[in-house]
């Protein structure tokens, strides 16, 4: 990776004193904002004044100062010009795609995506907005190239595909997208700090901040980072997807998340350290593990090239138990006998979360689509937490593997 250091960039923007000099910013819990001169109001509506031009705020669904600070902090972490927030990851993704595509236009997307994103692109947007998507194997650059049409506006991928953990070659995909006059949008939910997509050429990065960014599984939230022009366009009074579809982040939510960003680096490093240790030990037992930190992973060298040094290869690994029954038996044993973690969807929690993707978060995909994406019915996705000691958790995991047996 180049010299960009996300934590240094973050430290530069973090100093935002509270109203009375507090070390934390204040929460601006107001839905509407006072102007001192009546003439200011039309200027805000005309887009001539705003948070960056005269310091004026209009209304909470437009920009809110607390939410705006979180957006700026996330933009700094990404090395992006600007950032703003949404009520959920899906709010961020839907607003981004709809902002970049009009009716009749086209998206090229990786064929393994979070199930909700897949349904948005495959089902919702064609039916509701006439925006169509061609799904491709994002690791096959020739296939990606061929999928572009004159109408393609967006190439959409996840840095680490959910749940198959293939790695997107962001610099090459950015080059392809730009050659076709499209924008590269990257969902970096699995790998905050591990990879900085904007630095690698992506135009927009989106997050489900419900996951690692937040870290406590108590808040649903989304983030969008990109150029100032793009973020401003999302708030346009006539055509802004965040402004008009309204997936607004509450300022109290923004405040809570802002308190967790300073330790995101420490958390990511520990998630990754434990995921790597478990993956290596399971592999040493002679079992197959899907984890991009392992040299046996087909995209290991690529991720090693794209990733920053200090945060490892991410906190998620997967085991293929081949059948749903076997996967369920394994997860039940881990949760109910070993107390190793929770059988629950989602990821990025401080405790371990595990789910069988084909019958849960990827169930929006048809069986055929799952097969072509290499998503086995028995694939168990494990988001590794950092509660307890590593050795204690390993003993629990090892006992469960020996009790249930991996195929
Ligand atoms: N992107 C990815 C990779 C996800 O895993 C998820 C949710 O699981 C989402 C987006 C959607 O985020 P949210 O649930 O915050 O709307």
Instruction: Show pLDDT as tens, one digit a residue, over the chain (407 residues).
Output: 458 999 999 998 877 789 899 999 999 999 999 988 898 888 888 878 888 787 788 899 999 999 999 999 999 999 999 999 999 999 999 999 999 999 999 999 999 999 999 999 999 999 999 999 999 999 999 999 999 999 999 999 999 998 999 999 999 999 999 999 999 999 999 999 999 999 999 999 999 999 999 999 999 999 999 999 999 999 999 999 999 999 999 999 999 999 999 999 999 999 999 999 999 999 999 999 999 999 999 999 999 999 998 999 999 999 999 999 999 999 999 999 999 999 999 999 999 999 998 888 888 888 998 888 888 899 999 999 999 999 999 999 999 999 999 88
Q: Ligand 1 pocket test: pick from 112, 113, 186, 189 the residue with the most ligand atoms within 8 Å of its Cβ.
A: 189
First to last CA, the chain: 37
> Which is nearest to 117 in space by CA: 381, 361, 378?
361
Three-state DSSP state, 249: coil
Token pair for 47 = 């887009």
> Which is nearest to 282 in space by CA: 319, 313, 314, 315?
319
CB 300 within 8 A of CB 329: no
Establish whether residue 247 lines the binding site of ligand 1, counting it when its CB lies within 6 angstroms of any ligand atom: no
Nearest CA to ligand 1 atom 4: 114
Nearest CA to ligand 1 atom 14: 89
Q: Ligand 1 pocket test: pick from 121, 190, 210 the residue with the most ligand atoms within 8 Å of its Cβ.
A: 210
pLDDT of residue 380: 96
Question: Ligand 1 centroid to 377 CA: how many Å?
Answer: 20
Establish whether residue 73 lines the binding site of ligand 1, counting it when its CB lies within 6 angstroms of any ligand atom: no
Residues of the chain by 3-state class (helix, strand, coil), percent to 5: 40, 15, 45
> Which is nearest to 179 in space by CA: 158, 152, 197, 205?
152
Establish whether residue 162 lines the binding site of ligand 1, counting it when its CB lies within 6 angstroms of any ligand atom: yes
Establish whether residue 90 lines the binding site of ligand 1, counting it when its CB lies within 6 angstroms of any ligand atom: yes
Q: Ligand 1 pocket test: pick from 113, 208, 245, 247 the residue with the most ligand atoms within 8 Å of its Cβ.
A: 208
Strands (E), 164-321: 183-187, 204-208, 222-226, 316-320
CB 352 within 8 A of CB 342: yes
Strands (E), 209-289: 222-226
pLDDT of residue 358: 87
pLDDT of residue 1: 46
Separation between Cα atoms, residue 106 and residue 42, nearest integer Å: 36
Separation between Cα atoms, residue 28 and residue 31, nearest integer Å: 9
Establish whether residue 189 lines the binding site of ligand 1, counting it when its CB lies within 6 angstroms of any ligand atom: yes
pLDDT of residue 44: 86
Q: Ligand 1 pocket test: pick from 85, 94, 97, 116 the residue with the most ligand atoms within 8 Å of its Cβ.
A: 116
Q: Which domains does the chain have, with CATH numbers?
A: 6-262 (3.40.640.10), 265-404 (3.90.1150.10)
Burial class (CB in 10 A: 0-12, 13-18, 19+), 195: buried
pTM: 0.97
């Amino acid at each position: 990776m180049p010299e960009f250091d996300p934590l240094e960039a973050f430290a530069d923007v973090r100093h935002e004193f509270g109203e009375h000099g507090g070390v934390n910013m204040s929460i601006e819990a107001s839905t509407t904002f006072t102007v001192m001169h009546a003439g200011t109001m039309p200027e805000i509506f005309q887009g001539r004044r705003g948070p960056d031009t005269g310091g004026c705020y209009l209304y909470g669904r437009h920009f809110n100062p607390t939410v705006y600070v979180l957006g700026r902090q996330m933009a700094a972490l990404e090395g992006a010009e600007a950032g703003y927030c949404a009520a959920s990851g899906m709010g961020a993704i839907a607003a981004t795609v709809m902002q970049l595509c009009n009716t009749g236009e086209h998206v090229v997307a990786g064929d393994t995506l979070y199930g909700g994103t897949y349904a948005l692109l495959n089902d919702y947007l064609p039916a509701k907005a006439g925006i169509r998507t061609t799904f491709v194997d994002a690791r096959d650059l020739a296939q990606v190239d061929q999928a572009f049409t004159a109408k393609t506006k967006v190439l959409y991928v996840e840095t680490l595909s959910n749940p198959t953990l293939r790695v997107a070659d962001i610099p090459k995909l950015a080059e392809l997208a730009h050659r076709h006059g499209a924008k590269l949008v990257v969902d970096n939910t699995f790998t905050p700090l591990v990879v900085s997509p904007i630095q690698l050429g992506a135009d927009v990065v989106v997050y489900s901040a419900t996951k690692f960014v937040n870290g406590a599984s108590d808040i649903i939230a989304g983030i969008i980072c990109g150029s100032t022009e793009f973020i401003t366009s999302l708030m346009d009074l006539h055509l802004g997807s965040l402004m008009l579809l309204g997936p607004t982040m509450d300022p109290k939510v923004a405040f809570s998340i802002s308190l967790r960003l300073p330790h995101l680096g420490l958390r990511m490093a520990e998630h990754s350290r434990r995921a790597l240790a478990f993956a290596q030990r399971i592999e040493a037992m002679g079992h197959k593990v899907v984890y991009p930190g392992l040299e046996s992973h087909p995209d290991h060298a690529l991720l090693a090239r794209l990733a920053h040094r200090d945060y490892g290869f991410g906190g998620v690994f997967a085991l293929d138990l081949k059948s749903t029954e076997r996967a369920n038996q394994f997860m039940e044993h881990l949760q109910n006998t070993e107390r190793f973690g929770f059988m629950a969807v989602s990821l990025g929690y401080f405790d371990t979360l595990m789910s069988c993707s084909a019958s849960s978060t990827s169930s929006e995909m048809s069986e055929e689509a799952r097969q072509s994406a290499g998503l086995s019915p028995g694939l168990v996705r494990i988001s590794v937490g950092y509660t307890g000691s590593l050795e204690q958790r390993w003993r629990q995991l090892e006992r469960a593997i020996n009790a249930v047996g991996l195929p």
